[in-house]
Amino acid sequence: MAVKIRLARRGRKKAAIYDIVVADARSPRDGKFIEKLGTYNPNSNPAFIDFDQEKAFNWMMNGAQPTDTVKAMLSYTGILYRRHLQIGVIKGAISQETANSRFEEWKKEKESKIESKRQGLMTDKEAKKKAAFDAETKVKEARAESIRQREADKAAANAPAEEAAEEAPEASAEGGESTEEQA
């Protein structure tokens, strides 16, 4: 029986989440499986991969073949590298202690890369948020300035008309007095 480590889809439309399963190669994608190893969520950045690495390693050592996508995940998490080192131990090329130390060293380096990527994404997100806020503030200030300018223009336009209206009653009052003085 050919055994594969592959993905089984679940989740809603356009928001898929996958189970990482060990299944017979002849069974359907979402059908019967032998064992569930974990989950994979490609919708987050970086993608969330959570599975039992010991079980995956044991299945790989027993001959289970991963699909291309699962192979990339196993490589990303270090299972393929660990398998490579373990085969070297079996052949007698290196000792188990050397293999373990190399794997731990690789794992620390990989975790630091992942953490730096997360930090970079967070700083980029914060920078974009700050830039959007600054742009919004500039637009708000420009609108406020244009409103102030319009009000100043209206006040300047109304000022001569008000002065003319104030002068007109004074002139008519002065004109009325002059006619009375004449009579």
User: pLDDT by residue (tens digit) across 46-88?
Assistant: 788 888 889 999 998 888 899 999 999 899 888 889 888 888 9
Q: How far apart are CA 14 and CA 46, in angstroms?
A: 18
Higher pLDDT: 97 or 176? It is 97
- pLDDT (0 to 100) of residue 169: 61
CB 65 within 8 A of CB 4: yes
- Per-residue pLDDT at 150: 86
pLDDT surpassing 70 at residue 172: no
pLDDT of residue 95: 87
Burial class (CB in 10 A: 0-12, 13-18, 19+), 27: middle
Structural contact between residues 71 and 7, judged by C-beta atoms closer than 8 angstroms: no
Give the pLDDT confidence of 98-136 residue by residue, as tens digits.
Answer: 888 989 998 999 888 888 888 888 888 888 888 888 889
The CATH code for residues 3-94 is 3.30.1320.10
CA distances from 170 to 40, 163, 182, 183 (A): 87, 11, 18, 20
pLDDT of residue 182: 54
Tens-place pLDDT, residues 2-38:
899 999 998 888 889 999 999 988 888 888 889 999 9
Q: Where are the domains of the chain?
A: 3-94
**φ, ψ for residue 141, nearest 5 deg:** -65, -40
The residue-averaged pLDDT of 123-151 equals: 88
- Per the structure block, which two tokens stand in for 8? 């089984």
Beta 65-66 vs 3-12: how paired, if at all? parallel
Q: Specify the higher pLDDT residue, 164 or 142.
A: 142
Residue 122 confidence (pLDDT): 84
